[in-house]
Amino acid sequence: MSTAQTEVPISNTDIVNQVEDLKITATEEPHHHRNHHIHHLLHKYNTSKDTENEDENVDQDSCCPRTPVTFGPSPTVGDTHGLARLLKNNRMWSRAIRERQPDFFEKGSKGQQPKVFWIGCSDSRVPENELLQLAPGEVFTHRNIANVVVSTDLNCLSVLQYAVEVLKVEQVVVCGHYGCGGVAAAMGDHSYGLIDHWLANIKEVKQQHQHNLETIKDEEERCRALVEINCRNSVLAVAKSPIMKSAWDRGQNVEIVGVVYDIQTGLLSELGYHVASMDDLSRHLRVDSNALFAARKDNAEALQQQS
């Protein structure tokens, strides 16, 4: 019999603190217009407790012509529904941002100009905007299990093409993370069903470096090494795509970098995988597995001596 987990509520203070961390600065806007937006959002989701101090004479729809639309015979969720908590958190987050910069969402609705395209893992513990301390609109994102990039994934390649050719990003960041469940699953021989097809991409990387991985006796450290090598493989897969070749051929300034995130410390580390041209790609492809693992060992020893 399962035991229900106690849900820890997110307070308004928590939301405000998160927004303040985004370094969004306040700008001037008529007070009554801000209240229009706040009242409208709170009213739409029927949070009477949150609207007690709002002006009851405000025209609820005058400032937001595009009101939420419901398709199908769906009942309004009650206070105990899981969605109610998410909607409440969203309203507090939106309100906190608009208190600091009233025109933030209005400006964002006119387009995006991110400098970074992030390819990361779907793991919920690796939220790119939060760990980079960047606001909405500053990171274009694609995530999948174990941050795998392969030439047959039209989803990932379509996002890459849009990021490079339309948004003109300057950095493609491939981020692996220690403690990755996908990488850990690929380390063994257990069958998981449909996901085995996806994990086969990581297993192929493991086989390419099997000899050097086996020299690492500690299982956790071996998994960390595969996380790093898997990230490198995705960096090279991005670099080998026709999308990047075309971008570099036309002189576009865009670099691919590999980083790893440590969920135990909250810190990012760069892995030394930088590709900004076809020449860079050729140099990386000439580095064999033995050289990679030798460099990894040297770096680890150097870090130990520093500490």
Every domain range in the chain assigned CATH 3.40.1050.10: 116-306
* Burial bucket for residue 224 (CB in 10 Å: 0-12, 13-18, 19+): buried
Q: Which of 121, 156, 223, 231 is catalytic?
A: 121
- Is 61 a catalytic site residue? no
Q: What is the pLDDT along the chain (307 residues), one digit of tens a residue?
A: 444 555 555 566 666 666 666 666 555 444 444 454 444 444 444 444 444 444 444 333 334 445 566 666 666 777 788 888 888 888 888 898 888 888 888 888 888 999 999 999 999 999 999 999 998 999 999 999 999 999 999 999 999 999 999 999 999 999 999 999 999 999 999 999 999 999 999 999 999 999 999 999 999 999 999 999 999 999 999 999 999 999 999 999 999 999 999 999 999 999 999 999 999 999 999 999 999 999 999 888 887 788 6
Q: Which of 37, 40, 177, 224 is catalytic?
A: 177
pTM, two decimals, is: 0.76
219-240 and 196-208 helices, crossing angle to 10° = 100
Residue 177 is labelled as binding a ligand: yes
- Is 211 a catalytic site residue? no
Q: Which of 156, 180, 223, 231 is catalytic?
A: 180
Q: Does the domain formed by 116-306 have CATH 3.40.1050.10?
A: yes
- Is 284 a catalytic site residue? no
- Is 125 a catalytic site residue? yes
* Burial bucket for residue 99 (CB in 10 Å: 0-12, 13-18, 19+): middle
Q: Which of 37, 50, 95, 123 is catalytic?
A: 123
- Is 39 a catalytic site residue? no
Residue 121 is labelled as binding a ligand: yes
CA nearest to 118, candidates 160, 70, 146, 86: 160
